[in-house]
Chains A and B, each alone.
Chain A
Amino acid sequence: MAEPLLRVDNLKTQFFTDAGTVRAVDGISFEVHEGEIVGLVGESGAGKSVASMSLLRLVESPGEIVGGEITYRGETIFGLEEGPDGELRERDDMLSNEEMRDRIRGNEIAVIFQDPMESLNPVFTVGGQLREFIELNRGLGEDEAREESVEMLREVGIPDPAERYHEYPHQFSGGMRQRVLIAMALACEPNLIIADEPTTALDVTVEGQILELVDDLQAKYGTSFIWVTHDMGVVAEICDRVNVMYLGEIIEQAPVDELFHDTKHPYTTALLNSMPRPDRTVEELEPIRGVMPEAINPPSGCRFHPRCPDAREVCKRVHPGNEVVDRADGTPHRAACVKHDVFDVGYDESVPLEEEPQVTAGTPGGEDR
């Protein structure tokens, strides 16, 4: 396969808090190819948003990217090397902060945020913000940028774009605002758009419209997307390949059909089972046991084992990497679960864990630790 648009290799982002080090993103690797929509799925707190912000080097203090490599079209967004003193230091070929700001953010990689209510500056008109953004990133004159903004508003399906250009964000509904944000993200024709739960704040009908819009625009512009969400339904709808995150790690990585029909990780199975479906009542719904432990002190071994229905004794000891467990049409299907033969750590002989250790918030791991 051709060189990927974006390659993330063993990325680690940590937050250094008073209570200890939070490993929000703990060694994730994935690729995004041209024209593809890649899903980043997981429960709240899995590290999806931190991961996506890390791609733009926009992690705020006390957070810091501490390891790994991010390559975008052959350029190093982040990379470390060992200096002469043995300390890790930033590589020379890493893009400078100015280059990131002027060339990458907005122009090459754009972001659509979760909350359309909050993502537009309330004191300026929608059109003014769009125009300014286009002026800034594409170096157009004011009049050209204005025409372009109206054109973009029309493109994302806002009726009367010339009229609504002069309106303020509070005069737009949530769905319309999300369209504006999409217009803004698309305005500079970036190669990659990171969509951070862009439909979570919208109701389902509007969500459907937005997904359709993204699908159309994606076909038209060939933009790649990283689609961050916790909604498996959206994933099925829109994504080509999916990364499932749990507690800062990617635990399953597969093309979307494989993921749904040949699920390899118990967590993904659990996620799918906990999805409300019309053919099942609330009683039949299977929520995942317990809550996700805090990333500050993750459980030993497999991080999912305290909540995993398939957990065995070995899961407490062995921390599985994300290995290729299957192939479908040449695309690897990766999963981080020792029950697969690739791992060969004696899962089959191991004693199943008691159902008992229920995890509660604040005491990750329960009695296992």
Chain B
Amino acid sequence: MAIGESQLDSDGPSTDVDAQFGWRYTFGKVMQDTTARWGLYVVAVVLFISAYTLIDSNLSRLTFGAVSDFAAAEALPLFEHPERIPPPGEIESNVPPAFHPDGTLSHPLGTDPDGRDYFTRIVYGAQVSVSVGIVSTLIGFVGGTIIGAVSGYYGGWVDDVLMRIVETVYAIPPLILIIVFIVFVSGGTPDIRYAIVGVGITFIPIFARIIRSEVLSVREMDYIEAARASGVKNRDIILRHVIPNSFAPVLVYATLQIGVTILVVAGLSFLGFGAQPPTPDWGQMLNVSHGYMHSNVWLSIWPGIAILVTIMGFNLFGDGLQDALDPRIND
């Protein structure tokens, strides 16, 4: 920890030390870093869009009542409906984007082969990607933290057994593992939910290993010994003392992992194991559009850019957070 000796020696509360460890300080540190700041902006925009579309679609649910009506509705309160295919006579498929000579301003990014507005679908795709990224990462994070903390704290045979299992899972290429998982669990009808859980589970080993290595040093601290000597249960020691003190590196890793998760799930959707049509998911949109690469390249470019920018955003932010929390750089 980056506490100066002089601060340790002073008797009164030291505001410098407060500043160095508070959330506000970390946030300020991230904002000072140009790339991290832009990462944060992107993350904020993507999160805002997701929240916005979530409200949008739920408003329509309130307006139109039952879910089946929602799917049949022509438009959401604020947007065109991202999943609704226009009636046969009205289809304007593969309209190029607005800046193209053949484009129209009513479809700024053009339309897809089924005649749906591509801008709406890209915007709605953010919701899927963000929820996938966060939920999957959360599964890996929680599962990994529990396994890693238990494994590192108890050591001995508990550690051996848990870590051998974790390493076995770790050794299998993740994509193959996820696909096998989805095929088994879904029983032949893949769905985005299976992809989310599958990806989450395959990330458990990485989180478990990171937190375990932290725990190995934390468990030797005197306050753990002190807790044991004052009769605290092992479970409480793990929850109250071990995990909170081993948390920081995993938290940083989790922000970086969100980007990876989005990419992996987009890849799964592209392969047909993730989101299914007509869900507006970027990976799934790439899957559909790659057949039109020669006739309408825009169909592939927009979701590609969306994925790229989102992942970049999360990664840059995660990098910045890592630097901000690293005491060696803080000096």
Contact between chains at A113 and B230 (CB < 8 Å): no
Given known A-B contacts A113-B225, A115-B222, A118-B222, A171 and B244 have beta carbons under 8 A apart: no
Q: How far is the CB of B297 from chain A (nearest CB, A)?
A: 52
Q: Decide: A105 and B229 in contact? CB cutoff 8 A.
A: yes
Bound complex: CA of A58 vs CA of B224, how far in Å?
A: 12
**Contact pick for B226, options A111, A171, A173, A174, CB 8 Å:** A111
For A111, what are the chain B residues with a Cβ–Cβ distance below 8 Å? 226, 229-230
Interface core residue of B18, B225, B233, B241 (most chain A CB under 10 Å):
B225
> Closest Cβ of chain B: how far from A177's Cβ, in Å?
10
Known: A58-B228, A61-B155, A110-B230. A173 touches B10 (CB 8 A): yes
Contact (Cβ within 8 A) B245 A121: yes
Chain B residues within an 8 Å CB radius of A306: none
Map CB proximity to A onto B1-18 as digits: 1 under 8 Å, 0 otherwise: 101000111110110011
Q: Is A173 a contact partner of B231 (Cβ separation < 8 A)? A: no
Q: Do A113 and B222 have beta carbons less than 8 Å apart?
A: yes
Q: Given A113-B226, A119-B223, A122-B1, is A171 in contact with B14 using a C-beta cutoff of 8 Å?
A: yes
Determine if B165 is an interface residue (Cβ-Cβ < 8 Å).
no
B323 to nearest A CB, angstroms?
21
Are B231 and A119 neighbours in the complex by a CB distance under 8 Å?
A: no
Select A124's contact among B3, B222, B244, beta carbons within 8 Å.
B244
Contact A173 B244 (CB under 8 A): no
Contact status of A61 and B14, CB under 8 A, knowing A101-B231, A121-B240, A137-B230: no
Residues of the A chain whose Cβ atoms lie less than 8 Å from the Cβ of B8: 117, 170, 173-174
Q: Tell whether A343 is near chain B: CB-to-CB under 8 Å.
A: no
Q: In the complex, what distance in Å separates the CA atom of A53 from the CA atom of B228?
A: 11
Q: What CA separation (Å) do A354 and B1 show in the bound complex?
A: 52
**When the two chains form their complex, are residues B14 and A137 in contact, meaning their CB atoms are under 8 A apart?**
no
- B307 to chain A minimum Cβ distance, whole angstroms, is 36
Closest B residue to A128 by CB, please name it: B240
B156 at the A interface (CB under 8 A): yes
Evaluate contact between B244 and A121: CB separation under 8 angstroms. Answer: yes
Give min CB distance, A62 to chain B, whole Å.
10
B271 within 8 A of A: no
The chain A residue with its CB closest to the CB of B15 is: A171
Quick check: B11 and A136 within 8 Å, CB to CB? no
Counting CB contacts under 8 A, is A210 at the interface?
no
Measured CB to CB, the nearest residue on chain A to B156 is: A61
**In the complex the two chains form, what is the Cα distance from A174 to B10 in whole Å?**
9
Measured CB to CB, the nearest residue on chain A to B241 is A121
A residues 100-141 near B (Cβ < 8 Å) are: 100-107, 110-111, 113-115, 117-124, 132-133, 136-137
Cβ-closest chain A residue relative to B232: A136
Are B17 and A137 neighbours in the complex by a CB distance under 8 Å?
A: no
- Contact partner of B231 (CB less than 8 A), chosen from A107, A115, A120, A181, is A107
| Chain A contacts for B3, CB-based, 8 A | 170
Judge whether B231 and A105 touch: CB under 8 Å: yes
Chain B, interface size category, equals 20 to 34
- A105–B230 CB distance below 8 A: yes
**How would residues 181 to 202 of chain A score, 1 for a CB under 8 Å from any chain B CB and 0 otherwise?**
1001000000000000000000
Is B9 a contact partner of A173 (Cβ separation < 8 A)?
A: yes
Q: Which residues of B contact A133 (CB under 8 A)?
A: 230
Contact in complex: A184, B223 (CB < 8 Å): no
Partner of A101 from B18, B155, B233 at Cβ < 8 Å: B233
User: Most chain-B CB neighbours within 10 Å: which of A105, A121, A170?
Assistant: A121
Most chain A C-beta atoms within 10 Å of own C-beta, residue among B13, B14, B156: B13
Asked whether A173 lies within 8 Å of B11 as measured between CB atoms, the reply is yes
Q: Is A323 in contact with chain B by the CB < 8 A criterion? A: no
Which A residues, 263 to 301, have Cβ-Cβ distances below 8 Å to chain B? none
| Distance to closest chain B CB from A97 (angstroms) | 10
Asked if B59 is at the interface of the complex by the 8 Å CB criterion, the answer is no
Q: Shortest Cβ distance from B122 into chain A, in angstroms?
A: 42
Query: For A61, what are the chain B residues with a Cβ–Cβ distance below 8 Å?
Result: 155-156
Contact: A176 with B225, CB < 8 Å? no
Q: Is B161 engaged at the interface, CB distance under 8 Å to the other chain?
A: no
Looking across the interface, which residue of chain A has its beta carbon closest to that of B3? A170
Q: How far is the CA of A121 from the CA of B246 in the complex (A)?
A: 12
Cα distance A204–B245 in the bound complex, in angstroms: 31
CA distance A117 to B1 in the complex (A): 12
Taken together as a complex, chains A and B put the C-alpha atoms of A171 and B225 apart, in Å, by 22
Verify if A226 is at the interface (C-beta below 8 Å from B): no
Whether A58 and B240, one on each chain, are in contact in the complex, defined by CB atoms closer than 8 angstroms, is: no
Q: How far is the CA of A132 from the CA of B21 in the complex (A)?
A: 23
16 new A-B pairs (CB below 8 Å) besides A56-B229, A121-B240?
A: A58-B229, A104-B231, A105-B230, A105-B231, A106-B232, A119-B222, A120-B223, A121-B227, A122-B245, A123-B244, A132-B240, A133-B230, A136-B236, A171-B14, A174-B8, A184-B230
Interface residues of B (CB under 8 A from A): 1, 3, 7-11, 13-14, 17-18, 21, 155-156, 221-223, 225-233, 236, 240-241, 244-245
Binding site for B on A (CB under 8 A): 53, 56, 58, 61, 100-107, 110-111, 113-115, 117-124, 132-133, 136-137, 164, 167, 170-171, 173-174, 176, 181, 184
